Structures are given as structure tokens and as C-alpha cells.
Structure 1
């Protein structure tokens, strides 16, 4: 079957600056691609979050947005889509995924502590995930809790072929619960797909096994859902018994193995802004969520979004589970990964759904973890070809909140995130050419140290200097 799921209707011009201009721009922003202006970037693979192209139906939906403060028709349309796709009826929209995290995680810690005796109030709370992403870990740590990761060992070996490298290590999960005590675990977070490990999917069996463990210990399960549809596609392709099932059927089953969900709608639902926080059964928690939504985001029927964006999201959720779109999307990423492997670029395998993750530690073995090889490679991609991307490694992990010591990632990765319905294969082939040139001079690339380091989520605002 052909991979053509859409045709181009609108174009945006891009410009490649000269190499001397790129060098100056990178120096001015403190060798941190977050500080680059989009007009100075040629191919922007920094993130797939909010950077996708809207469909004609989404553009039409924007014109139908109901901007009523409460009782909005657009909210009613979104409610229908949320119930259709996830099977949840109690939800709030938020301005983006981190808005949902900011509301939910403090409430879960509060609920956990209220269930303890007074003599246990000072016990440290934890959240356990297959692997927390940056903002999730930050919101966990802001509550005073610890963010613990229990992804399977195979995820750390980029050259190992495993169909579900995002899976939770259930043995390690049970060990962590037993060691710390179930009354210290505020929640188990299943991240689908697992971004920090290379956009790797979680199997349905693993989601089911984790949910059974959680129910045994009476711990809530939160599904971090940014790329839920891509995860469902991989289940269909790779897990026995699902090949003949529709994406929607698979998604419906996935969400039976969670008690609540957070969603950055800027990923799979293909909108430029928006998020969702949904609760399956816990009415008391949902009422607290509603109150905190009003305080932090806005009234419960708009959650910090314009009515037009809510209407657009209602359409995007349904488009996200369209198998023709997903096939085209993931096959493009697979094609990109295949070309990189042929060029000798070490990448996380098998290729994930939303991005290619280069093993920067393997490509730049002369740069130690504390000098951030993933960031060094990201900077070199901009210098060599005007390509913007992101580090996923020790630079992103930051410091231990208790000791202040630098955390060292077991995988030093550079992420090339592919915006949805934006770039052609030819543009991605240009990126392969840039990386091939970088590989030929890899030993000349320097590591980096801090000029300025924020205390939290430092990779967004830090300024760096090359180590000479």
C-alpha cells in the first residue's frame, strides 16, 4: 500500500544562512539551540510538539470555535472526541500537557499523604515511570517527590533490536514498591511512547501487567499519552493478536489499563496548543482537578485554550487514530532511520514513531558524559547544516535534587524530532548528508561546560561554552 496520506496545500519559505552566520548565531544564544530564532533555522527537528501542519478539516474547525466562557459548543465537541478515543468522560482541557501535570501531581501527593498516619507525614513520596520526560520529572520534583525510572535494560542498548523498548521492568517496579513501601508511591506513570528512550513503544501486555501490579498495591496508574496513537500503531505491527484490530480498538484497550491520563495534544492530536487531563472513576479527585483547573488554567470548559483551539483539537484527536495517516507518518521516520544506518550513523533501534535518536555517546566517544556529547552533536548539526535538534541525555537529566550532583544518563542521545505532515523525504535526506559530513570529522567536535545554569529544567535556558 502506498504511503501517501495527504498532499501539500500551503508552503512556508525557509533560508539557509551562511556557515559564518550560523556560527555567530549559535555563539549569541550560548550554544543552546533553544535560543535560536526560527528564521535562522533551515530544517527544524527540535521538537514534534505543536509544530505539525493542520489538516483542512482542522483549519475549518478553527472557524467554528465557540468562545463562550462556559457552556461552549466546542467543549461539547471535544468531550465527544475524548470519549470516542479514550473512553473517559471526566476530563478538563489544559493549555498543554504540562498544565495537566501541574494540576495532577500535587493532588496525588496530597491524597497519598492524607492516607498516612501523622507519624508518617514526612516520608518521601515517589512516582515510578518507565521513564519520566523532562517536564514530568520537574513537576514531580516540585511536589517534593522523587521521580524514579524502571524502563527495561534493553532500552539502554541502542543496537539491540527489541520490539517494545519502552516497557516497564516489572521486576524492578515491584522491588521499588516493596523497598519504599506502597504508601510512598503516589503514582505509576506509563509514558507511551517512551520519549526519553527513543520514542520506543510499550506493549499491551506490559501495560496490563503494570496495571495488575498497581491494583495489587492500590497505586493509581497515570498514562502519559503524548504519542498514544503511535504506540497503538506499533502494538498493531509488533504484538501478537493485534494485527487485525483497528487503531481505535487498540487505543480503547490501552486506556483500560490506566486510572487517569495526561495528554500533550501538541503531539499525536496535531494541534499547535492544548492538553487534556482525564480521570476514569475517582470522582473526588476529579472535583479537586476541576477546582485547580480554574485556579491555574481557566474555567473547566476551556482550560486556558481559545474555543477555536478546542474545536481544532476535537478534530485532531480523531485524525490521530487514522491508520492511513499513521502508516505514512511512521514509514517516513523509518525511511529516515534506514538512510542514517546505511550512512553508518549509530541510532536507537528499532526506530521509534516520532523521532530518530542518534547515539551521540557512540558517535563522539571522546566527549565524556559531563561534557554533554548529545548537546555537542546538536550544536554541530546547526553549525554544519542549519539543522536544529535537541539533546536527550545528561544535559537534560540535570542534577540530583538532593545532592546537587550531575546525573549521568546511560544513553547520551541527540533527538531529531519529525514534525507531523511538514517535511519531505528529500529534506530529511539533506539531514543525512549533514550527519555524514559530521561523522567524517567527529573527533574534532568539542564538549561543553556551563556559562549559566538554571536550577530547574536547565536545558531550556542554560548558556554553554565549548571546551577548548
Structure 2
């Protein structure tokens, strides 16, 4: 669907999505609302698409250069922040006006539905499944990583509303994944995801999960740790620029904080910011440089959450002792933030040091 010179508007694409667009010669344009970049703003739907920004993209670029608009639910880069049903509906109307398909990056669709139920007028009495059905009714297609709200160990899927879109999106499937009927997944993994998709849309599960994340956020806020607020659905996002004010942005504060947290307590987290999200080349640095503390599903007790909180708070209390960060030792051309090497004080961290200290693949379960 994406060709050289194409642009794809959306709300803060995740790094791998940006890489995939770039690999095809296109690029994503972030149309997230400005409130999302203010960690102290209590806007209930910081993942929302700014309709004025989206309209500007539609008006600036020729129709044939915009293959689709992608809305990520929830917005991972902005702190697991949800998108309101009203916003999804209005994006649909605008896309219809300019004849642009709308796709949902639905890795955390159930958490998004939970926030719609708990925060948006008119949805308190609806079930999660009813809200999910309405969300997807506005989309022409969706992508899904099953390792998030699929509650699966591996895999994902693509769903399309039309045969034409399906054929356009799957023409390379056999080369990279396998036949469209299984996409490289085993029968066992497909069965696990099917069960997970049912369980994840139950309110009791979602409430317990979000409350656990909220508890970690509450502990951080009480100690003055700068985090994205309101707390999102799957993780607490620390603002590394405010946490480590003495570390220059050019020395990767989020990566630095992740490594320090690993040294402090053996906690792995993921840096999401200047380096990972491929900042707009017009900007020297992004507005936020987050360290994501994502919580594995059905894994931790309150004692684990307290351990993480206490480690973060200890580090925050001695933050002014950390005055220097890291620099690139060796870059790589594709998906570099998973395998890049850093160095500090002429000490080689190596690829494993970075990956183990500040990244845990792309499954959103790095606190281990």
C-alpha cells in the first residue's frame, strides 16, 4: 500500500511502524493533540488525533500520496494514552471527506475500550465487547500484535473490510510470513490468541490490570517523579528530561535512565523518545523522552509493584548525581534501537548491555 514518497498521518506511530513505512519509502506524520506532550495535562484522551493537523495533511499532499490514516489505540508513544470514541468517529468523517482509508493499530484495543467505558460520556453502561465493536465499525482495516491485548506469546494478524485492501496488503505475505491462512503461526498459537481475545475484553480483567498500573503511577506521583498523567493502560512513562535534568539531550536521557535503573535494581525498561521514535528531522529533539515501565499481564503482585516504585524513587532522590549520559558507538540502518551499541567514558557497553538494560523486544513486558 505504501510507496516511495507517500505520507501516512496518524497519532504518534510506534518505532516499528515508522521503520516499516520508511522501508517502503514513505513516512508517518504525527497528528497527535498538543496536550499529549504536556505530562501534567489531565486531558482524558491524550491519544486523540488533532483534526486540524490531520486536515492540513490532507490538504497539503495529493490524495494519491496518502495510502491511509492510521490511528493507534492506545497511543503507545504518548504513554499508553487512549483515543476517545468521539475522536475515532470524527477522524472517520474527515477520512471519508478526503477519501482516505482509516486503519487501526489495535495492539491495545481492549485497554482503549476500557478507558472509553470509564471516561467517556454515554459508554458507562456498555460492555467492553460492545465498545470494541463500535470502535472497529469506523475502520477499513486493522493491524494487531497478539503479544499485547491478544494475551498471546507470539503472532498477530491483519483484518480488512474489503477484498481489494486485503489483496493489496497481503501480496508479500508468503515471502515474509507464510500463507495468509496462518501467517507463520502454529495452530496452538492461533488458539491461544483466540482465547486471549475473548478474555481480554472482560471488564474484570481490564480493571485489575489498569489498577495495577495506576498504583505504580500513584507511588511515583506521590514521590514527585515526573510521569505522564493520567496514567495509561499498560505502563508508567517517566519523563527522562525532567527526571535527569543534568544529562544533555544529546546524550540520550531516557536510555541513561533505563541503564541506571537496571544497575540500581535489575529492572528492565524501554526508552521511547528521541532515538527510538525517529524524531522529525525538522526538530533537533522530540518534546518528550520517555522511559516506559510496562507491566507484564497476570504476572506481578503488589509486592513487585512496590519494589519497582521504591527503586525508581531511590534513583530519583539521587538524580543530580547523574550528570552524563551515553553516545552512540555503532549504529545500524534498520530498527536500530533494538540492536544499537552505546558507549560511555570510553567503556564499551556492547549490544547486549543496551538491549538487556533498556529494551525487552517489542512485547511490552519489560519489567522482569
Compared CA separation, residues 370 and 467, structure 1 to 2 (3 A): farther
Task: Give 1:211-360 correspondences, 5 Å limit.
Answer: 211-280=92-161, 282-360=162-240
Cα displacement string for residues 177-228 of structure 1 (whole angstroms, at most 9, x for unaligned residues)? 1112322211100000000000000000000000111111111111000000
Distance 1:177 1:301 in 2: 35
Correspondence for 2:361:
none
Alignment CA distance shift 1:406-1:241 (3 Å): closer
Q: How many residue pairs were aligned? A: 345
- Whole-angstrom distance in 2 between the partners of 1:350 and 1:229: 18
Q: Aligned-pair distance for 1:408?
A: 1.7
Report if the CA contact (8 A) 2:15-2:278 is conserved: no
Structure with greater helix percent: 1
1:441 positional shift: 1.4
Q: Select the structure of larger CA radius of gyration.
A: 1
* CA-to-aligned-CA distance 1:365-393 (integer Å, 9 cap, x gap): 11222211111110010011111101011
- The Cα shift of 1:292 comes to 2.6
Structure 2: gaps (5+ residues): 347-368
C-alpha contact 1:378 1:388 (8 A) present in aligned 2: yes
Q: Is the 8 A contact 2:9 2:29 kept in 1?
A: yes
C-alpha separation in 2, matches of 1:287 and 1:457 = 26
Please state whether the residue corresponding to 1:253 is helix, strand or coil: helix
Assess if the C-alpha contact under 8 Å between 1:126 and 1:148 holds in 2: yes
Stretches of structure 1 lacking an aligned partner (at least 5 in a row): 1-107, 111-121
Q: Is the 8 A contact 1:398 1:458 kept in 2?
A: no
Q: Secondary structure at 1:464's aligned position in 2?
A: strand
C-alpha separation in 2, matches of 1:178 and 1:153: 20
Aligned to 1:379: 259
Question: CA contact under 8 A between 1:449 and 1:467: conserved in structure 2?
Answer: no
Instruction: Tell me the alpha carbon deviations over residues 115-170 of structure 1, each in whole angstroms, 9 at most, x when there is no partner.
Output: xxxxxxx7x21011111001100000111012110100000000110100000000
CA change 1:385–1:274 in 2 (3 A) is same
Tell me which of 432, 443, 456 is aligned to 2:334.
456
* Conserved 8 A contact 1:138-1:457: yes
The alignment status of 1:151 with 2:32, answered yes or no, reads: yes
Deviations 1:436-458 (A, max 9, x none): 11112112222110111112221
Quote how far apart the aligned CAs of 1:467 are: 5.2
Partner of 1:171: 52
Asked if structure 2 preserves the Cα contact closer than 8 Å seen for 1:369 and 1:409, the reply is no
Higher RCO by CA contacts (8 Å cutoff, separation 6 or greater): 1
Matched, 1:431 2:314: no
Aligned alpha-carbon RMSD (Å)? 1.6
Q: Report the 3-state secondary structure (helix = DSSP H, G, I; strand = E; otherwise coil) of the residue aligned with 2:67.
A: strand
1:300 is displaced (CA, Å) by 2.2
Give the SS at the match of 2:276.
helix
Aligned to 1:210: 91
1:104-183 matches, within 5 Å, as: 108-109=1-2, 124-183=5-64
Q: 1:467 to 1:200 in 2, by over 3 A?
A: farther
